[in-house]
Chains A and B, each alone.
Chain A
Amino acid sequence: MTPETLPGRLGWLATLRLAWRNLRRNKRRTWITAVTVSLAVLLLQLSIAVMIGVERQSYDNLINYQTAHAKLYAAGYFENREELPLDYTLTDLEALQASVQQVSGVAATTPRLAFQASLSDGVDQVACFGTGIQLAGSDTEVFRIPQAIVAGEYLRPGEEGMLLGSGLAELFDAEVGDWLTVLTKTRDGAYEALDLPIVGIVGTGNPVIDRNTFLVSLETARYMLDLQEEATEVAVRFSLGAREMATLRALVERVEQLGYEVKGWREAEADFLAFAAMKRLGSVAMLSIFVVLALVGVTNTVLMAAFERTREVGMLMAMGLRGGGVRKLFLTEGALAGLLGGAVGSLLALVLIAYLASVGINITALYGEMDIGYPVKDRMYAALEPLTLVVVWLATGLAAAAASLYPAARASRRPPVEALRHA
């Protein structure tokens, strides 16, 4: 016998039909419950979509302006990367880049030279990070700095000057054409100072770049640091559509043979990813409180329905419906109420998410100059993920069924003879 044909059990179709019609007995009550659930689900779906969208924007931002998809270092550099040491540099860059380019999934590579420095306008002095970039094409194949120029222009090959983070520019109250003095220290500990004009101002939305970094040509950096044809890292961009983890694995295999280290952006930004995960978890947990409150409404609805239909339940049990069948009926009613509310909330969310995915939210208008904790510039966009919408909707149905457990169990435990006597 199939579960549909076992005696004492009502098949799923018959249960669904009966549960659905039972929900329609008291339409007003059902709709009040569904509206409460729908509002909570709308809020949850919207928040999840915005969170996923902002996280994706953040990852793109990190890859486009800071970490690339992966970076190659000399052995020992990554461990000491906070100090930006000049003792672990890469040499023979052309051969290394040529070797890396052969890895399937790698689109472009570029050398960079990161160093500690101070900037001074003659009045104030600010500690920051300097980065030497290759201007003859390759840096722009890996990073998207030109797209982030908010004033002035990108450095031309051979040009002596700097691209200044927008936060630093604000701090110095500096504009394009102003001069700043770069103070740095060579590998041997000798101090160097160089006056450079501001050629462009960079606003990426990434605080590491905007508030702490200036960019100069690789040649200028080497000149200030008294280095030869060296770099502290080779940044790698993967091809569009390349499988990230597979490409990274292939890259590691290729480069580790040569005695270098490779770190993917996820490992380099592990702290940020952990922070994002925590924030995601915290936000979902907080918003889930609304859903839980809405589900209390489902519990109450099913409890009232079970109370009102006590005699009817007694009659069903007299006819031979087992306690499990009674539980199944009320759990289905709860689940349907949740799914109904969840569907309304998810459909409304779909419309709003579609709007926020194309138009976005103006961060400055919303938060002013406050740091939202994500490297995102100007607007944040929601991510329209149909699968997430469906998963949250179905989870609401499940949660609503769970919220009906107590009233369902209570109704099923009552002996039929008692239930039939119920006035």
Chain B
Amino acid sequence: MTVAAKLEEVRKIYRTGGVEVHAVRGVSLEIESGAFLSIAGPSGSGKTTLLNLLGALDTPSAGTVRIGDRTTQGLSARTLADFRNTHLGFVFQTFNLIPVLTVRENVEFPLQLQGVAERGERRRRVDELLGEVGLHGLAERRPGELSGGQQQRVAIARALVKNPTLVLADEPTANIDSETALEIMRLMQQMNERRGTTFVFSTHDPLVMRHATRLVRLLDGQVASDERQGGLRHDT
């Protein structure tokens, strides 16, 4: 089994107005490649902090976070940016697409950042992804012209276009209705199966939890339970 990410005794302490907040307290977790993992827990349990640590958006106060074969501790902001650029994809609760760019340009953006200079190559990869997420006909639309579900599909395509080691999704179904949420989960499941991409979600949503093949529950910054499950499957 290849390990996509590994957390060892990770702690994260914030100081807010002179008060120390222990957001994550000694979490150890090994995420295998191709996992479809959901991190669940009540508000304030440390889900988002853990996702930020896995996403190299933040570094731990103690312990180590290893993504692939590299730890994030002690890396400069610039190196972390390059690391995220190469290894990580993000799907946000509020989609966070660039409103002034078209769907195609939004998906193409990470490739430009990655230094894929050849326009034809970028276009080929973008078109392939847009086809997979079912948005081929909407490539020239702006995000504002799309529904919430369509925007989230664009965000998924954008996260996957650079073939990352890990895709991190923060409450990916929070801003869409239940029917669309189901579609989005099916889509991510397909991508996970078809491409073997590792997905890690933070969520409150039982629907997301049901789809995950592994469910990690956090409570007060600690792992309360770590269960492997079948994961709800759909015929595709």
Chain A 1-23 interface residues, beta-carbon cutoff 8 Å to B: 1-2, 4-11, 14, 18, 21-22
In chain A, positions 300-356 with a C-beta closer than 8 Å to chain B are 311-312, 315-325
Provided the pairs A322-B81, A322-B82, A417-B52 are in contact, do residues A21 and B100 lie with their beta carbons within 8 angstroms?
yes
Query: 1/0 per position for B82-116, CB-CB distance to A under 8 A?
Result: 11111000101010101111000000011011111
Q: How far is the CA of A420 from the CA of B93 in the complex (A)?
A: 11
Alpha-carbon gap, A137 to B113, bound state (A): 77
* Set of chain B residues within 8 Å of A323, measured between Cβ atoms: 77-78, 81
Nearest-Cβ distance from residue A54 to partner chain B, whole angstroms? 47
Compute how far the CA of A24 lies from the CA of B113 in the bound complex, rounded to whole angstroms: 23
- In the assembled complex, the Cα of A309 lies from the Cα of B12 at a distance in Å of 27
Does residue A28 face the partner (Cβ distance < 8 Å to B)?
no
The smallest beta-carbon distance between B124 and chain A, in angstroms, is 17
Which A residues lie within 8 Å of B116 (CB)? 5
Please report the C-alpha to C-alpha distance between residue A2 and residue B115 in the assembled complex, in whole angstroms.
9
Query: B58 on the interface (CB 8 Å rule)?
Result: yes
Min Cβ gap B114→A in Å is 5
A25: CB under 8 A from chain B? yes
Query: In the complex, how many angstroms separate the beta carbon of B117 from the nearest chain A beta carbon?
Result: 4
Q: How far is the CA of A9 from the CA of B78 in the complex (A)?
A: 11
The reply on A200 being an interface residue by CB < 8 A is no
- Report the separation of the CA atoms of residues A67 and B110 in the bound assembly, to the nearest whole angstrom: 68
A18–B82 CA distance with the chains assembled, in angstroms? 21
In the bound complex, do residue B57 and residue A322 qualify as a contact, i.e. CB atoms below 8 Å apart? no
Contact B85–A7 (Cβ < 8 Å): yes
Cα–Cα, bound, A22→B115 (Å): 22
Residues of A within 8 A of B60 (CB): none
The contact string, 1 if C-beta is below 8 Å from chain B, for chain A 275-313, is 000000000000000000000000000000000000110
Do residues B113 and A21 form an inter-chain contact, with CB atoms below 8 A? no
Interchain CB contact (< 8 A) of B85 among A24, A319, A420: A319
Known: A7-B113, A18-B101, A318-B84. A415 touches B96 (CB 8 A): no
B55 on the A face (CB < 8 A): yes
CB of A330, distance to nearest CB on chain B (Å):
14
Docked CA distance A8–B88 (Å): 13
Distance of A358 from chain B, by nearest CB (Å): 44
CB pair A319–B57 under 8 Å, yes or no, is: no
Chain A proximity of B17: nearest CB distance (Å): 15
Out of A4, A8, A325, name the residue touching B117 (CB < 8 Å): A4
Contact B84 A320 (CB under 8 A): yes
Q: B77 contacts A8, CB within 8 Å?
A: no
Q: Does A416 contact B (CB under 8 A)?
A: yes
Residue of A nearest to B52 (CB): A417
CB distance from A371 to the nearest CB of B (A): 57
Name the distance in Å between A151's Cβ and chain B's nearest Cβ.
Answer: 70
Is B112 touching A320 in the complex (CB atoms < 8 A)?
A: no
Give the CA-CA distance A5 to B115 in the complex, in Å.
4
- Is there an interface contact between B55 and A21, defined as CB atoms closer than 8 Å? no
Question: Number of contact residues on A: which range applies?
Answer: 20 to 34
For the complex formed, measure the closest distance between the CB of A422 and the CB atoms of chain B, giving whole angstroms.
Answer: 11
Nearest chain A CB to B162's CB is how many angstroms away?
A: 9
Q: Which residues of A lie under 8 Å from residue B110 when comparing CB positions? A: 319-320
Is B57 within 8 A of A11, CB to CB? no
In the complex, A1→B115 CA distance in Å?
9
* Contact of B82 with A7 in the complex, beta carbons under 8 Å: yes
CB proximity of A11 to chain B, nearest CB, Å: 7
Contact between B96 and A311 (Cβ–Cβ < 8 Å)?
A: yes
B92 adjacent to A319 (CB under 8 Å): no
Contacting residues, chain B, for A5 (C-beta < 8 A):
115-117
Bound-state Cα–Cα, A100 to B83, Å: 77
CA distance A320 to B96 in the complex (A): 14
The answer to whether A25 and B109 touch across the interface, beta carbons within 8 angstroms, is no
A417 and B117 within 8 A (CB): no
Q: Given A6-B115, A18-B101, A320-B110, A315–B57 Cβ distance below 8 Å? A: no
**Shortest distance from the beta carbon of B13 to any chain A beta carbon, whole Å:** 14
Cβ–Cβ contact B92 & A315, under 8 A: yes
> Bound state CA distance, A319 and B87, in angstroms?
10
A2 to B117, CA, bound (A): 9
Q: Is the CB of B85 within 8 A of A416?
A: no
A21, B101: Cβ atoms closer than 8 Å: yes
Contacting residues of chain B (41-76) with chain A, CB-CB under 8 angstroms: 52, 55, 57-58
Give the residues in chain B near A2, CB-CB below 8 Å: 117
Instruction: Give the contacting residue for B112; candidates A14, A22, A318; CB below 8 A.
Output: A14
Q: A22 vs B114: C-alpha distance in the bound complex, in angstroms?
A: 22
CB–CB B98/A312 < 8 A:
yes
Give chain A nearest CB distance to B38 CB in angstroms. Answer: 20
Q: Is the CB of B100 within 8 A of A18?
A: yes
- What is the CA–CA distance of A312 and B110 in the complex, to the nearest angstrom? 14
Chain A residues in 8 Å Cβ range of B55:
318
Take A8-B82, A8-B85 as given contacts and tell me if A318 and B100 are in contact as well, using a CB distance cutoff of 8 Å: no
Pick the contact of B113 from A8, A312, A415 — CB < 8 Å? A8
Q: Which residues of A contact B52 (CB under 8 A)?
A: 417
Give bound CA distance, A21 to B86, whole Å: 26
Contact between chains at B96 and A312 (CB < 8 Å): yes
Question: Which of B81, B86, B114 has the most C-beta atoms of chain A within 10 angstroms of its own C-beta?
Answer: B81
Instruction: Please indicate the chain A residues that have their CB under 8 angstroms from the CB of B101 in the complex.
Output: 18, 21
Give the distance to chain A from B52, nearest Cβ to Cβ, in Å: 5
A10 in contact with B57 (CB, 8 Å): no
Task: Taking A5-B117, A6-B115, A321-B113 as given, write out 7 further A-B residue pairs in contact, using a Cβ cutoff of 8 Å, ordered by the A residue number.
Answer: A7-B86, A18-B101, A21-B100, A311-B96, A319-B110, A320-B81, A320-B114
Would you list 6 pairs from A and B whose C-beta atoms are within 8 A, ordered by A residue? A315-B92, A315-B96, A318-B55, A318-B57, A319-B90, A415-B57
Which 4 interchain pairs have the tightest Cβ spacing? A320-B85, A21-B100, A5-B117, A315-B96
Chain B interface residues toward A at CB < 8 A: 52, 55, 57-58, 77-78, 81-86, 90, 92, 94, 96, 98-101, 109-110, 112-117, 158
A interface residues with partner B (beta carbon < 8 Å): 1-2, 4-11, 14, 18, 21-22, 24-25, 311-312, 315-325, 415-417, 420
